[in-house]
Amino acid sequence: MVSIELRDIIKRFGEFELKVSLSVKDGELLTLLGPSGCGKTTTLRIIAGLEKPDKGRVYFDGRDITDLPPYERNIGLVFQDYALFPHMTVFKNVAFGLEVRRVPRMEIEKRVREVLDLVGLRGFENRLPEELSGGQQQRVALARALVIEPDVLLLDEPLSNLDAKVREKLRGEIKRIVKELGITTIYVTHDQEEAMVLSDRIAVMNFGRIEQVGEPYDLYYNPKNEFVANFLGISNIVELEAKEGRACLGDLCFEVGREGKGKIFFRPENVAVGEGIEAEVIGYELLPGRVRLRLSIEGREIIAEELLSRIGKKIPKKVRIRVREFKILP
């Protein structure tokens, strides 16, 4: 277990420039979240030593490891494409990292058994990768990364190739396992739900920069800007002009305590349905247990979410709404 620090890292590929500083605490599970091409994988590869930064330093526990090759960093890596050795059994695949480190046979057998237990693959030792499902193959990849007892675990979109149900199950298990081992983990994804479920903290990235780092709840309800707000989920962002400390959209008023233009931000579930001012329902989506209402006020669209059981089977044409909580964005 170690802490990780990226200090003033710069890496350029043509037009693209990655520029990041980041601290990850001992035993923390931090997610790099962002759209395709924002630099998540490059950041991970710099930590792994697979990519050399143009500028800046990488520290593990305060020790500068920028010039250490990957195999001297004691890192476990898991990628999207499981990258298992196809002709080797599960046991051999997992044991490989220990064999190259010349760990004694007895010790290898013990550690492979333990780690297969941990990922729920006891009894699969003699199977070949092609005889496993995608989810099972990814468990093997995880076991292989963990068996060497790495200081740091790096996971790059490990669930992207799996179907939704398996993904949901496995993300919960990944969290359980890394927390049980207390291993410092960096997880790359573009899936906001995965990031919310897994992370101690999330770093939201865009165009080679970290926009904001924080705990899931804080990022979700207190985003620093519009990009973070939109990337973490559905947001209502209404640009209004405030007068005498109030900004109003028709009868829907916000006490902003300042004058002039501003962006009012609130989440759909912070729209209380059934009280307040009237809004027209212009569309809706049924979700498991919830309904997402598209409302119109003064020609502007507001998204509200309410429990399905509270709305009932028949969606009304008009509803009353009140905004419980909002934030002003820059």
Ligand X SMILES: Nc1ncnc2c1ncn2[C@@H]1O[C@H](COP(=O)(O)OP(=O)(O)OP(=O)(O)O)[C@@H](O)[C@H]1O
Stretch that binds ligand X, among 29-37, 137-145, 249-257, 293-301 (CB under 6 A): 29-37
The residue from 8, 21, 26, 37 that contacts ligand X (CB under 6 A) is 37
Q: DSSP string covering 91-143, please?
A: HHHHHHHHHHTT--HHHHHHHHHHHHHHTT-TT-TT--GGGS-HHHHHHHHHH
In whole angstroms, the minimum distance from the beta carbon of 218 to ligand X comes to 23
CA–CA distance, 278 with 252 (Å, rounded to integer): 9
CB nearer ligand X, residue 15 or residue 255: 15
The residue from 29, 34, 142, 240 that contacts ligand X (CB under 6 A) is 34
Q: Binding to ligand X by residue 33, rule CB under 6 A?
A: no
In whole angstroms, the minimum distance from the beta carbon of 231 to ligand X comes to 12
Q: Binding to ligand X by residue 262, rule CB under 6 A?
A: no
Stretch that binds ligand X, among 35-43, 99-107, 169-177, 242-250 (CB under 6 A): 35-43
Q: DSSP string covering 51-105, please?
A: S--SEEEEEETTEE-TTS-GGGS-EEEE-SS----TTS-HHHHHHHHHHHTT--H
CB nearer ligand X, residue 50 or residue 88: 50
CA–CA distance, 247 with 311 (Å, rounded to integer): 29
In whole angstroms, the minimum distance from the beta carbon of 56 to ligand X comes to 15
**DSSP structural state of residue 162:** S
Q: Binding to ligand X by residue 38, rule CB under 6 A?
A: yes
Stretch that binds ligand X, among 34-42, 82-90, 169-177, 267-275 (CB under 6 A): 34-42
Stretch that binds ligand X, among 31-39, 67-75, 194-202, 279-287 (CB under 6 A): 31-39
Helix axes 105-118, 90-100, angle to 10 degrees: 130
CB nearer ligand X, residue 10 or residue 307: 10
Joined together, the tokens standing for residue 50 give 């697979």
The residue from 39, 97, 129, 150 that contacts ligand X (CB under 6 A) is 39
Q: DSSP string covering 221-269, please?
A: HS-SSHHHHHHTS--EEEEEEEETTEEEETTEEEE-SS-EEEEEEE-GG
In whole angstroms, the minimum distance from the beta carbon of 60 to ligand X comes to 21
Tokens 């009868």 belong to which residue? 251
3-class DSSP state of 203? strand
Q: Binding to ligand X by residue 206, rule CB under 6 A?
A: no
